[in-house]
Amino acid sequence: MPRAWLLNPPVFCIQIHMSSTKSRLTVPKFQAMKVEGHKITMLTAYDYPTAELLDQAGVEGILVGDTVSEVVQGHANTLPVTLDEIIYHAEMVGRAVQQALLVVDMPFPSNHLGVTRAIESAGRILKETRCQAVKLEGGAEQAEVIAGLVGAGIPVMAHVGLRPQSVHRLGGYKVQRDEQQLLADATAAEAAGAFAVVLECIPAPIAAKITRTVEIPTIGIGAGISCDGQILVVNDLLGISGGFVPRFVKKYADLRTTISGAVTQFRNEVREGTFPADEQTFK
Ligand code: KIV
């Protein structure tokens, strides 16, 4: 090594060191945030550039949700997306995430085919995507599957309350109000070894009670302010989603208007002959 480098290391050495020390949030650190009273932020992501932006903005968790079926693939619900398709999206997201905990949804019905097949599916997700955990919809009736996955070394985030994969049984996307059942689901998920639990569409007082009862972090979506963290579908938060948007969503941007304005301006300038101008033209 040239002597001068010892006194004045070249910039590229520092950069290599910095990038190699970056590490992703681990499951135990994610759990410790509840004890520390540090609110957890999570968003969904389905592609590389979005995941990179969310990660750099400092959210603690990124979920490759089965909502990809609705907001990216254009289906009416979350049922159609397949294991291969979730893995395809999770691979892109996994390449972008440097800091957040990365969780991938188990698509319907991959967690309902017995413990062995659930381990096979979740194992594929972990092996092929750089994710650290899976999420599955279910509480008490999924306890055996959760325990099987955890026993295989696969961290599980449970999901109780409104379970969109059960939309046909529930008869729609309704607020879930059965306090006893909700508490039983969350506590069963915790006892089975889940490291966190999503609470979807639950009255705030019930979510608060669950949050006080379980030691694992609760991540709310339509479950009020008392949850240990909050998650939203990124397309809803950014105002990309068209059509019905649930009441629990807050739109922090209006990208639909921004994107359609930009595209309309491009179309107009091409038609008028003002794009490309001199600045965009090679001479
Ligand atoms: O699939 C998903 O995006 C989800 C979140 C809405 C929690 O399950």
Which are the contacts of 243, defined by CB distance < 8 A and separation ≥ 6?
A: none
Answer whether residue 229 is part of any domain: yes
Answer whether residue 10 is part of any domain: no
Answer whether residue 69 is part of any domain: yes
Model pLDDT, residue 14: 44
CA of 152 to the centre of ligand 1 (A): 24
Answer whether residue 120 is part of any domain: yes
Answer whether residue 231 is part of any domain: yes
CA of 44 to the centre of ligand 1 (A): 7
What is the token pair recorded at 215? 């030691």
CATH classification of the domain holding 67:
3.20.20.60
Dist CA 172 CA 251 (whole Å): 23
Model pLDDT, residue 244: 86
200 is catalytic: yes
Q: Which atom of ligand 1 is nearest to the CA of 219?
A: 7
- Out of 60, 70, 190, 200, the active site residue is 200
State residue 101 phi and psi, 5-degree precision.
-75, 130
State residue 66 phi and psi, 5-degree precision.
-75, -5
Answer whether residue 15 is part of any domain: no
The total of structural domains in the chain comes to 1
**Structural domain boundaries, residue 255:** 22-274
User: pLDDT tens digits, the chain, 283 residues: what are they?
Assistant: 444 444 455 544 444 444 444 799 999 999 999 999 999 999 999 999 999 999 999 999 999 999 999 999 999 999 999 999 999 999 999 999 999 999 999 999 999 999 999 999 999 999 999 999 999 999 999 999 999 999 999 999 999 999 999 999 999 999 999 999 999 999 999 999 999 999 999 999 999 999 999 999 999 999 999 999 999 999 999 999 988 889 999 999 999 999 999 999 999 999 999 999 999 999 9
pTM of the model: 0.92
Answer whether residue 9 is part of any domain: no
* 262 contacts 275 by C-beta, under 8 angstroms: no
* 78 contacts 67 by C-beta, under 8 angstroms: yes
Answer whether residue 41 is part of any domain: yes
Q: Tell me which of 134, 163, 200 to substitute to probe ligand 1's pocket, judged by most ligand atoms within 8 Å of the beta carbon.
A: 200
